[in-house]
Amino acid sequence: MNMNDYSAELEFAKKLAKEAEEIALKYFSFEVENTWKGDNTPLTVADTEINDLVIKRVGENYPEHSIYGEEKSVIKENSKYIWVCDPIDGTMAFSAGLPIFVFSVALVDQSNGLPVLGLINDPIMKNMYWAYKGGGAYRNGKKISVQKNTTLDKTYFNVAASGKNIGFSNLPLIKKMSEEKCHVMKYPSFIYGAIQVANGKYIGSAFYNKYGHDVAALKIITEEAGGKVTDLNGNERRYDTDGVGCLVSNGILHDEMIKIIQSGKVS
Residue 36: Cβ within 10 Å count: 9
Q: pLDDT, tens digit, for every residue of 189-221?
A: 999 999 999 999 999 999 999 999 999 999 999
Instruction: Supply φ then ψ for residue 6, to 5 degrees.
Output: -110, 30
H or E segment at 13? helix 7-27
Q: What share of residues in the chain are helix, strand, coil (percent, to 5)?
A: 30, 25, 45
- 3-class state of residue 157 by DSSP: strand
Compute the distance between CA of residue 161 and CA of residue 17 in angstroms, rounded to an integer: 27
Compute the distance between CA of residue 127 and CA of residue 104 in angstroms, rounded to an integer: 12
pLDDT band at 39 (very low <50, low <70, confident <90, very high): confident
Q: What is the DSSP letter of 160?
A: P
Compute the distance between CA of residue 46 and CA of residue 14 in angstroms, rounded to an integer: 18
3-state secondary structure string across 78-129: CCCEEEEEEEEECHHHHHCCCCCCEEEEEEEECCCCEEEEEEEEECCCCEEE
Is the CB of residue 227 less than 8 Å from the CB of residue 201? no
Is residue 1's pLDDT more than 90? no
Q: Work out the average pLDDT over 214-229.
A: 98
Compute the distance between CA of residue 158 and CA of residue 58 in angstroms, rounded to an integer: 32
Compute the distance between CA of residue 251 and CA of residue 257 in angstroms, rounded to an integer: 10
Is the CB of residue 203 less than 8 Å from the CB of residue 250? yes
Q: Work out the average pLDDT over 37-64.
A: 92
**Which amino acid, residue 99?**
P
Compute the distance between CA of residue 164 and CA of residue 60 in angstroms, rounded to an integer: 38
Q: pLDDT, tens digit, for every residue of 62-86?
A: 999 999 999 999 999 999 999 999 9
Is the CB of residue 128 less than 8 Å from the CB of residue 140? yes
Compute the distance between CA of residue 59 and CA of residue 61 in angstroms, rounded to an integer: 6
Is residue 2's pLDDT more than 60? no
pLDDT band at 161 (very low <50, low <70, confident <90, very high): confident
Q: pLDDT, tens digit, for every residue of 169-187?
A: 999 999 999 999 999 999 9
Compute the distance between CA of residue 190 and CA of residue 159 in angstroms, rounded to an integer: 7
Q: 171-179 vs 254-262: helix axis angle to the nearest 10? A: 130
